[in-house]
Amino acid sequence: MMKTQELYGQVTAKIINFQPRKSQLEMVEVIDECFENVNPELKDGHNICLIEAPTGTGKSLAYILAGVVNAQKFQKKFIIGTATKTLQAQLFNKDLPLFVKNSGIKINFGLAKGRSNYLCPYQLENSIADLPIDMVSQADGSAQKLQSIASHFKQGAWNGDLDLAPITIESKLKPLITIDKHQCLGYQCPHNQKDESNCPFYKNREFLKSCDVIITNHSLLLADLESGGGNVLPFKPADYYLCIDEAHNFPGYAVNGFMGQFELKQSIGLVNNASKLIANPGNNSYIYTDIPLCDDLAAKALDLSDSLEKLYQIIKLNKEVFNDGVFILNDYLNPAISQELKDLFVVIAYIATELAEGMKKIQDKLKEKLKSSQDFVTEANLVKLGFYLNSIEGIANTANYLINKDDSRYNANARWVEERLYNGGEEYNLIAGVTHVGKLLANKLWSRVHAACLTSATLAIGQRFDYIKFQLGLNLYSNLHEIKLTSSFNYPKHSQLVIPQFRYSPEYSTRVEFQKELGLYLRQILDYKEAYGTLVLFFNRQQLIDTFKMLPPKIQNKILLQTEYSSNQKLISEHKESIDTNQASIIFGLNSFAEGVDLPTRYCMHVVISKLPFETHTDPQNKVREYWVKAENGNYFMDVSLPETCIKLIQAVGRLIRSEEDYGQVTICDNRIALKQYGSILLSALPEFNRQYNPEFINQSYQRIRH
C-alpha cells in the first residue's frame, strides 16, 4: 500500500492551483504516526493527538487523508465530528468528493444527523389528518404547506433531509413533521418495515452502516456516547478512528450534552395526562392489559405530579431570592436552599426514574403487540406514551443532576431555576448539569476510542495545551501527541493591530464612561469613504444596541445589526451585496460572528473588538466553577477565566486573515489588554500582527486587494 506521505503528494498534485503547504504535510504525518501505532492495551493517550492548525493549513484534507488510509489499513471506520453545519456541508460536498477523485480510493461516506433533521412521514400524515379541524392553521397556510411537503416527498425528488427541503419550512411546522425517539414507532411503523422503508431517518441510518467515513456533529457524537456508544451512531468507539474538528468547542458542547432541563408547571400537566393515559379507572381505560402494572405506574405519575407541585410552590414562595430571574439551587452558593427542597429533589429523581422505566416496559409490550397485527388504537397510544415518556425522562435526567454529589472542580453540578411567564402565569425552568466533562469524556470516549485526533485553529495558549487538556480530561493521559503548527500567512505584512488609547476601560466601575468613549471612537473610525467591509464584535446584546444608538444616521445606514436578522447567512449575503456594489458595509455582530464566519478580502478588512470577551460572573455554571476552584485554592481568573477569554479572542481576531489574499486591521478597544499585567499573555497569544501604527493601512489594504 502507498505510504500516506506519498499519497499526499499524489492527491495534492492533482488539485488545480494547489500550493504545497509544509504545515499540512506535517499535520498528515503527525496524525498518521498516531493512528498507525495504536496499542489498545495501553490507556496512556498515545493514540490521541491534539493539533493546533492555523487558518490556511488545509486541515480537512490532512485529517481525511491520514484518517481514511489508516481506517482502511486497520479495518476500522473513520468518524469526523464538527461543530457547525457549514463545515459538515463543506466536508460532504467538497473535501471528501475531491479526495476520492484525486486519490483513487473508493469509500462510502455519509452524514449522520439527529432524528429532528428528517421528515417523519408518519407524523406528517397524522398532522395532515388532524389539521382540517384546526381553523387557525387553515388560515395561516399551514395546511397547504403540509400538503406541499407531502407532495414533494411523494414525488421522490427530495429525500426528506430538512436541510435540503425544496421549500422553506418554518420552525412552527417542524413539530408537525418530525418525531422524537420515544414517539417513533421504529420497525412497527407502517412507513418503516424491515424489508421496505420509506422513512428518511431509518433509510439514512441503514446507509450509514455501509459507510467507511461518517461526518457528524458534536451533539450527536455526544448523544451516542451518553447512550453507551454504537446506538445513535452505527459503530462503537473501539471500531473507529475519530477526528474532532473545531475541537475548541467540544468541551462546551459536552457540558450542554450532560445537562437536563424541564418547565415545572407544564410538566405537572404532562405528568397528570400521562397518568390518565396509562390507567383511568374512572372510565375503565388502560393502555395495556396488565392492570396492576398500569395502576402502579399511574399512581407513581400522580405522586410525581404532587412532588412537582410542591416544588413549584416552594420556588414561588422564595421569589425574593431570584437574582435577575435566576434562582441558584446549589446549597453552597445559596443558603436559602432548605433541607425540605433537597429532600424533594431526591423524591422527584426517584419517582421519575422508576416511572420512566415502567413506561418503557409498557412501550415494549405495545410494540410487541403491533408486531402481530396492525391496530390503530395501540399505534396512537404508543405515540402518546412516547411523548410523555420523553418529558418524564427529561425530568428524571434533570433531577439526577440535582441530587448528584459535588466534591471537586472535576465533579460539580450547576443547578438553577429560571423564571418566565407562561400562559399569563409564572413558569419556572429547572436546569441542572455537570460543569466539567473531563472525567465523563475519559470514561466514555478517550478510554474506548481506537484513536482520535482533535484539531482547531485555537487550542493552545501560547505554546501550551494545558487548558484545553484540562477541559477535555486529556490531562489524565501522559502520552498524548501535541503539536502547534505554524501559520503560512505573512501577518506582519498583511495586517496591523491597533489598540486605541482609551481613558476608560469596560470594567464595571467605569463602564458608563467607557461606553461613551467607544461611541465617540467608532463615530470617527467607521465613517468610511470607501467600500470597506467591517466586522464590529460585541459580547453583550445590550452593548451592541446601545453603541448603535450612539452613532449618527450616516454611519447607522451602513450597519447591519445581527440582532435584527433571523439568520447570519441572510445578514452575510446583504453585507456581501453592498460590498459588491461598492458600498461600505459594517456588521455589528455577537458571539456567533466571532467564530466560524468566513468573510474574505474586501468583505472583512477591519475587525473591531469592542471589549475583551470575559465571561459573565452571574452565569450559574461559572459561579459553581469559581466556587470549586477557590475551594481548592486555585486562581479562577488565571486558571479558567483568562484562558477562555484568550481562546475567544484568538477566534475573534482570526476573522481578519483567512487566506494569502487578505489584508486588514484589527482594533481592540479594551485598554486592559495594554495596561493590565495579564494583557501581555493575551497579546502574545495573538498572530504576529504589525504593531507599528499606520493610519493609512486600511486604505492601502483596500488598494492592494482591488488590484
| Contact between 153 and ligand SF4 per CB under 6 A | no
Q: Give the position of cell 435566576.
A: 326
Query: Of 122 and 627, which has the nearer Cβ to ligand SF4?
Result: 122
Q: How far is the CB of 190 from ligand SF4 (least distance, A)?
A: 7
CB of 125 or CB of 296, closer to ligand SF4 = 125
Of 7, 65, 179, 264, which lies in the binding site for ligand SF4, with binding defined by CB under 6 A?
179
Nearest-approach distance from CB 267 to ligand SF4, in angstroms: 24
Nearest-CA neighbor of 495 among 290, 671, 666?
666
CA 436 to centroid of chain Cα atoms: 16
State residue 461 phi and psi, 5-degree precision: -110, 115
Instruction: Tell me the closest approach of the beta carbon of residue 566 to ligand SF4, in angstroms.
Output: 27
With contacts defined by CB under 6 A, name the span among 199-207, 218-226, 261-269, 336-344 that binds ligand SF4. 199-207
Q: Which of 63, 122, 467, 697 binds ligand SF4 (CB under 6 A)?
A: 122
CB 188, min distance to ligand SF4, A? 8
Of 524, 504, 526, 525, the residue nearest 515 (C-alpha): 504
For ligand SF4, the closer CB: 202 or 603: 202
CA–CA separation, 704 and 707 (whole Å): 5
Mark the segment that binds ligand SF4 (CB under 6 A) among 191-199, 206-214, 242-250, 302-310: 191-199
Candidates 55, 88, 117, 192: give the one binding ligand SF4 (CB under 6 A): 192
Q: Shortest Cβ distance from residue 122 to ligand SF4 (Å)? A: 4
Are 57 and 221 a contacting pair, CB within 8 Å?
A: no
Q: How far is CA 697 from CA 105, 118, 214, in A?
A: 47, 49, 45
Told to check if 201 binds ligand SF4 by CB under 6 A, we report yes
Size of the residue set binding ligand SF4 (CB under 6 A): 14
Q: Of the ranges 180-188, 349-357, 385-393, 411-419, which one interacts with ligand SF4 (CB under 6 A)?
A: 180-188
Minimum CB distance to ligand SF4, residue 581 (Å): 46
Regarding 185 and contact with ligand SF4 (CB under 6 A), the answer is: yes
What minimum distance in Å lies between the beta carbon of 385 and ligand SF4? 13
Cα 669 to chain center, whole Å? Answer: 29
Q: Is 389 in the site for ligand SF4 (CB under 6 A)?
A: no
Quickly tell me which residue has 425544496 as its cell.
Answer: 166
- Binding range to ligand SF4, per CB under 6 A, among 71-79, 121-129, 249-257, 539-547: 121-129
Rounded Cα distance, 640 and 622, in Å: 9
Rounded to an integer, what distance in angstroms lies between the CA atom of residue 361 and that of residue 344? 26
Output the furthest CA–CA distance in the chain (Å, rounded): 84
Is 184 among the residues that bind ligand SF4 (CB under 6 A)?
A: yes
**One residue of 131, 189, 571, 646 binding ligand SF4 per CB under 6 A:** 189
Q: Which of 67, 110, 121, 237 binds ligand SF4 (CB under 6 A)?
A: 121
For the chain, how many residues are written?
707
* Structural element, H or E, at residue 167: none
552 Cβ neighbours under 8 A, 6+ residues apart: 523
**Alpha-carbon span 513 to 424, nearest angstrom:** 39
- Rounded least distance, CB 199 to ligand SF4, Å: 3
Find the shortest distance in angstroms from Cβ 192 to ligand SF4.
Answer: 4
By beta-carbon proximity to ligand SF4, the closer residue of 121 and 260 is 121
CB of 170 to ligand SF4, least distance (A): 20
What are the C-alpha distances in Å from 352 to residues 79, 271, 308, 399? Answer: 35, 10, 10, 8
| Among positions 199, 221, 344, 673, the unique one binding ligand SF4 when judged by CB under 6 A | 199
Nearer to ligand SF4, 367 or 523 (CB): 367
Alpha-carbon separation of residue 621 from 71, 273, 320, 414 (angstroms): 39, 33, 21, 5
CB of 260 to ligand SF4, least distance (A): 23
Residue with cell 453585507: 575
Q: Does 177 bind ligand SF4 (CB under 6 A)?
A: no
Using the contact rule CB under 6 A, the part of the chain among 61-69, 72-80, 155-163, 184-192 near ligand SF4 is: 184-192
DSSP string, 584-628: -EEEEE-GGGSSS----GGG-SEEEE-S--PPPTT-HHHHHHHHH
120 binds ligand SF4 (CB under 6 A): yes
The stretch among 118-126, 287-295, 299-307, 384-392 that binds ligand SF4 (CB under 6 A) is 118-126
Residue 363 makes contact with ligand SF4 by CB under 6 A: no
Q: In angstroms, what is the minimal distance from the CB of 185 to ligand SF4?
A: 5
Q: Which is nearer to ligand SF4, 183 or 475 (CB)?
A: 183
Amino acid 655 reads R
Q: Does 356 bind ligand SF4 (CB under 6 A)?
A: no
Q: Could you give phi then psi for residue 6, rounded to 5 degrees? A: -65, -40
541-549 LR contacts (CB < 8 Å, sep 24+): 541/590, 543/515, 543/610, 543/611, 544/588, 544/589, 544/590, 546/515, 547/515, 547/518, 547/519, 547/522, 547/588, 547/610, 548/588
The least CB distance from residue 150 to ligand SF4, in Å, is 13
- Site of interaction with ligand SF4 (CB under 6 A): 120-123, 179, 184-186, 189, 191-192, 199, 201-202
